[in-house]
Amino acid sequence: MDLSPLFLSLKVAFVATILTAVTGLGFAILMAKARFPGKSLVEALLTLPLALPPSSVGYYLLVIMGRNGPLGWLGWLFTWKAAVLASWIVALPLMFRTAKAALESVDISLEMVARTLGKPPWRAFVDVTLPLASRGILAGVILSFARALGEFGATLMVAGNIPGKTRTIPLAIYTATQINRMDIASFWVIVTAALAYAFILAVNKLQEK
């Protein structure tokens, strides 16, 4: 049994989750704290990949990373890095919305009390709001990892289905089904189901505390 799809999927999901956690939390802090014209438009744009079919996301990325696209010079098309980019884009809305909801659930008066005690706004946010929102933020990270691990449509369009190079678990399931190797497809389906179940349990545990 070729286990390269598992290792590649974990690598892609891990790198994509780091990008998603940093950018998603950054945007969540901005949207939760800042007030500026067009804020709702920016928030809608950040959520858009959640509503679009993955193939649409893949098409836009294909145009951007194509030979004549603005990111074509990177040469990432049909590499594992393109899979990372695709997973990052589709997972970003989950991280953004979950982190934003966690930050907004913290009573702002607690942060204001810290300010009255002499802490600057940024320190009050770091010392008070972030710790109280940490479980929700961590839940967003876990959900983002699960979404990145299961990405198929956009990845297929920009990274292809190259064995040992860009074939992730979802692509391995698709390929095995196409060649009527249901034993291989069943194996990878069980693996993904077990991973997804573990992620759901972890998120539920965080929400219970």
- Per-residue model confidence as pLDDT tens digits over 155-189: 999 999 999 999 999 999 999 999 999 999 999 99
Q: The dihedral of CA 186, 188, 191, 193: what is its sign? A: negative
Return all residues near 89 (Cβ < 8 A) that are at least 6 apart: 49, 57, 61, 154
CATH 1.10.3720.10 for domain 4-208: yes
pLDDT at position 154: 94
**Alpha-helical segments (H) within the chain:** 4-33, 39-51, 54-65, 80-104, 108-116, 121-124, 130-149, 153-159, 169-178, 182-208
Confidence (pTM): 0.90
Average pLDDT of the segment spanning 16-40: 93
- Show me where the domains of the chain are located: 4-208
Q: Residue 109 and residue 175: Cα distance in Å, rounded?
A: 54
Q: Residue 129 and residue 113: Cα distance in Å, rounded?
A: 12
pLDDT at position 33: 87
Q: The dihedral of CA 193, 81, 58, 43: what is its sign? A: positive
Average pLDDT of the segment spanning 29-46: 91
pLDDT at position 77: 92
- Per-residue model confidence as pLDDT tens digits over 57-85: 999 999 999 888 899 898 999 999 999 99
Detail the DSSP E strand segments found in the chain: none
Q: Residue 100 and residue 139: Cα distance in Å, rounded?
A: 12
Q: Residue 199 and residue 143: Cα distance in Å, rounded?
A: 7
- Asked if pLDDT for residue 56 goes beyond 70, the answer is yes
C-alpha angle with apex 18: 64 to 130, nearest 5 degrees? Answer: 125
Residue among 83, 106, 119, 89 at smallest CA distance from 33: 106
pLDDT at position 209: 58
**Burial of residue 207, with CB atoms counted within 10 A of its CB: 0-12 exposed, 13-18 middle, 19 or more buried:** exposed
- Asked if pLDDT for residue 26 goes beyond 80, the answer is yes
- Per-residue model confidence as pLDDT tens digits over 94-149: 999 999 999 999 988 888 888 888 888 888 888 889 999 999 999 999 999 999 99
Q: Residue 25 and residue 162: Cα distance in Å, rounded?
A: 33
